[in-house]
Structure 1
Amino acid sequence: MPPQPSYVNGGDDGAYGYDSGYNTGQVYGSPGGGGHGGGPGDYDHGPRPAPNWRRRIKWTAITVVTVLVVTTVGTYFWADSKLNREVDLSKVIDRPEQGDGTNYLIVGSDSRAGMSAEEKKKLHTGSAEGKRTDSMMILHTGSNGDTLISLPRDSDVEIPTFVGSESGKTYKGTGRHVKLNAAYAEDGPELLVRTVEFNTGLRIDHYVEIGFAGFANIVDAVGGVEIDIPKGGMKDTKSGADFPAGKQTLNGEQSLAFVRTRYALKGSDLDRTKNQQKFLNALANQVATPGTILNPFKLYPTMGAGLDSLVVDKDMGLYDLGKMFWAMKGVNGGDGTSMNMPISGSANGNLVWDKAKVKQLVEELKNDEKVTVSGE
């Protein structure tokens, strides 16, 4: 028989000699071991280094911050480019002195610009030429609470001397009195601002206007607005309002009918302004929910619908617009004062302002003091 290999130390290293290294405590591929390639030790390069979590977290944070900054800056310029800065308040003459705080004139117009015949029929807007104001409000923001004052469109006001926004011609005041919304119909936003300033003595810092279609689009973009219709329901064939009593979610078409309705409220312009304030409260609360703000698929359509629809003054910025929005939300949520312009009676079908109360109200607003005057 051929000689057998020895498996112990000191065995023959000849052709049949083999030393496993086991009895020396060595393993394949380790120093002093007998293996030479092909053994599992050839792939053992020692333990892996521990991951550098601090470095990973750092670069992840940098990436996230970079994406947020780029998105925020991009959104800002996108939104800013959508503002229609068409109103030039520098054309308004003989303006009151600047007071403390900021005053916005917020206007809902019956503009049908860009609407098809089908849309006009659907939204019950009619096809009247030109533009009028369906609602007007002064929003004062300051350090002593914000105040939202509705100006009934039937308010009796005097048209003062003014410079035509297009012609540049001076039209002398004759002392004639008209409904407030007639000022807008006669020469647009600049004359409306001039008339409001002349009749109140309060300087308007910014102007914001939205038309019928834009209003409806904003409501649809947020998925509708929940409103509690009072007992007895609401029906007005002229505005298209037809709602049973109780809580319900109104779409854009229905919301427009709700804020425009007048004859369902016994024809009262004062009751309609209360309805408009009630709706703005509900709309602001709907927009300012996490479900809208944190959802880009809802936020961007809402912003797009709103910004595309707004007409503002040339000095209006996104910061001013945001400040106005949050102030309106706060006021309608009970954090400020919401009221109608004080009324003392009527003349020739127009609502006459209470001059003493209006004077006191304007002084408090000018001095950015807490408003103590009340209106119906």
Structure 2
Amino acid sequence: MDSRGQGDFARDSQGRPILDRYGRPVRARRQAAQRPTPPRRTSPPADSTRIFPAQPGPAAPRQQFPPAAPRQQFPPRPQNQPSPQAYQHPGHIGHVPQELPQVVNTQGPPQRPRRRLPRIRLRPRGCLGSLFTMFAVILVLVGAVTLWADSQLNRVDATPEARVSNTAGTNWLLVGSDSRQGLSEEDINRLGTGGDIGVGRTDTIMVLHLPRSGEPTLLSIPRDSYVNIPGWGMDKINAAFTVGGPELLAQTVEESTGLRVDHYAEIGMGGLANMVDAIGGVEMCPSEPIQDPLANLDIQAGCQEFDGATALGYVRTRATAMGDLDRVVRQREFFSALLSTATSPGTLLNPFRVIPMIGDAVGTFTVGEGDHVWHLGRLALAMRGGTQTETVPIATFADYDVGNVVIWDDYAAEELFSSLR
């Protein structure tokens, strides 16, 4: 209690409440009521003799103490009332408001507020969100077009019944059919293909070997190669396609080369010409002029743009010095140039080229039962990085009962095939 004995707060000599370091008033300590000390009893003098007992006198009046001041009560602080330290004045330490509400905690110990985790927004905002949306739309469109194109492919059983053991890498058997089916009279006259002779011949037979690492190898097999056809004996290799279709042709190629055929792809004349026209033409650089009325071909030497009809005549003609051997070289050159143009950004990013190419060419492709359009895409992309080209080594030409045939150089051919196994 302060020196003046007023209130429950300690006060200084000027009557101002004393504050602690947090700015709160310091309560005064209650002092216990002091009881009066009774008078000490003294013994009588030694020489005195008590004759009569002490007469009781009047009782001393009991000391009266003032009543304790009542404890000052403060109303409970409202919920939105700030704590006492909020009343501290930053410029005057001794300043205290007239009334300080008493803090009464009726809710128990304070609880630590739960920290809310930030929400993760999966959708970007601003320009990034627009790019994300555009990218998602493009992916959906590409997926839809891919599935549609895969459904347009023609499929045939090209898996031989008797197969060679598995070999390294992946091997594609690529066939260019001589078929005129599906061509109109106008197309026949424009392309110079002659009448419809069915689906029984092949103008192009190639094996594309994709190693696990390194450049692919595109191997041409002359269609007049004299080989053994399983179940039919010795004949031209394209006769296997005539009598047994893709399955027998794949089996003949496997037994002749020792390479296991993993995928099969075939395209007809009309599909080849339409594909070239759809991508806007293919640039080729023939080393000599070629005139061939049978193939409807008349070109000069030097680099030039081929349309569909010119490209088809270029890969079909034999009107050069080496005949069929020159043709397989031109077929490899054209096939590489076609895939390079078809997979270039100028074609794939141009809807006016890629959509007609898919619509006109995909329907003319024939693949194996287990092959899909994404396998064809991998084939095309693998050849963009460069391709080694080979032709089965030739020993001589000969005339047999089946006509003029090509005889392989057995030793050199086996050495080439062994390098690809």
Which residue pairs with 1:106 in the alignment? 174
Structure 2, gaps ≥5 residues long:
1-123
Q: Which residue pairs with 2:204 in the alignment?
A: 135
Q: Counterparts of 1:222 and 1:80 in 2: how far apart (Å)?
A: 19
Indicate the residue corresponding to 1:186 in structure 2. Answer: 243
Offset at residue 255 of structure 1 (A)? 0.8
Q: 1:89-134, CA deviations, whole angstroms, 9 ceiling, x for partnerless residues?
A: 1xx2221011121000001011111112232222111115222100
Q: 1:236 aligns with which of 279, 292, 304?
A: 292
The count of aligned residue pairs is: 293
Residues 1:306 and 2:367 are matched in the alignment: no
- 8 Å contact kept, 1:148–1:328: no
Q: Does 1:258 align with 2:314?
A: yes
2:165 is paired with a residue whose SS is: coil
| Aligned pairs for 1:242-321 within 5 A | 242-263=298-319, 265-266=320-321, 268-321=323-376
Greater Cα offset, 70-79 or 98-107:
70-79
C-alpha displacement of 1:294: 1.1
3-state SS of the aligned residue for 2:162?
A: coil
Q: Residues 130 and 185 of structure 1 are in contact (CA less than 8 Å); yes or no, is this contact kept in structure 2?
A: no
Q: 2:162 aligns with which of 81, 90, 94?
A: 94
Partner of 2:258: 201
Shift of 1:347: 2.5
Letter in 2 for 1:258: Y
Aligned counterpart for 1:352 among listed residues 407, 418, 421: 407
When structure 1 is superposed on structure 2, of 146-155 and 342-351 the one drifting more is 342-351
Q: Secondary structure at the match of 1:127?
A: coil
Q: 1:280 to 1:199 in 2, by over 3 A?
A: same
Instruction: Give the 3 Å change call, closer, same or farther, for CA 365–197 of structure 1 in structure 2.
Output: same
Task: Measure, in 2, the Cα distance between the counterparts of 1:267 and 1:128.
Answer: 28
| Partner AA of 2:142 in structure 1 | T
Structure 1 unpaired stretches of 5+: 1-53, 162-172, 367-376
Structure 2 partner of 1:340: 391
3-state SS of 2:218 partner: strand
Amino acid at match of 1:352: I
Question: What is the rounded CA distance, in whole Å, between the counterparts of 1:189 and 1:177 in structure 2?
Answer: 18
Measured in 2, the distance between the counterparts of 1:342 and 1:298 equals 39
Q: CA deviation at 1:144?
A: 3.4
Question: Which has more helix, going by share of residues?
Answer: 1
CA RMSD of aligned residues (A): 1.9
Find the residue that maps to 1:350 and give its secondary structure.
strand
CA contact (8 A) 1:109 1:209 kept: yes
Which position in structure 1 is the counterpart of 2:283? 226
The answer for the alignment partner of 2:225 in structure 1 is 155
Map of 1:215 onto structure 2: 272
- Structure 1 distance, partners of 2:285, 2:217, is 24
2 CA distance for matches of 1:189 and 1:88?
A: 5
Larger radius of gyration: 2
**1:56 CA drift (Å):** 2.4
Residue-by-residue CA offset, 1:282-329 (whole Å, 9 max, x unaligned): 222322322111111211111222211100000112232112112333
Structure 1 residue 274, shift from structure 2 partner: 0.7
SS at match of 1:246: coil
Match for 1:276: what amino acid?
Q
Post-superposition Cα deviations, 1:195-229, rounded to whole Å, max 9, x if no partner, equal 11122221111110000000000000011112223
What is the alpha-carbon distance in structure 1 between the residues aligned to residue 286 and residue 418 of structure 2?
36
The letter for the 1-side match of 2:290 is M
- Distance in 2, matches of 1:58 and 1:254, equals 47
* Structure of higher RCO (CA pairs closer than 8 Å, 6+ residues apart): 1
Q: Quote the Cα distance in structure 1 between the aligned partners of 2:158 and 2:315.
A: 28
Instruction: Quote how far apart the aligned CAs of 1:268 are.
Output: 1.5
Report the TM-score when normalising by structure 2: 0.66
Shift of 1:152: 0.6
2:179–2:196: 8 Å Cα contact kept in structure 1?
no
CA distance in 2, matches of 1:309, 1:68: 26
| Correspondence list, 1:36-185, <5 A | 55-89=125-159, 92-131=160-199, 132-142=201-211, 143-161=213-231, 173=232, 176-185=233-242
Letter in 2 for 1:98: N
Match of 1:229, SS state, is: coil
CA deviation profile, 1:343-371 (whole Å, cap 9, x unmatched):
122222211112222222222212xxxxx
Report the Cα distance in structure 2 between the residues aligned to 1:61 and 1:178, rounded to whole angstroms. Answer: 60
Query: How far does residue 267 in structure 1 lie from its aligned partner after superposition?
Result: 5.5
Percent of pairs with identical residues: 41
CA shift in 2, pair 1:59/1:336, >3 Å = closer
1:231-267 CA-to-partner distances (Å, cap 9, x unmatched) read 4x1101111111122222111011101110102x135
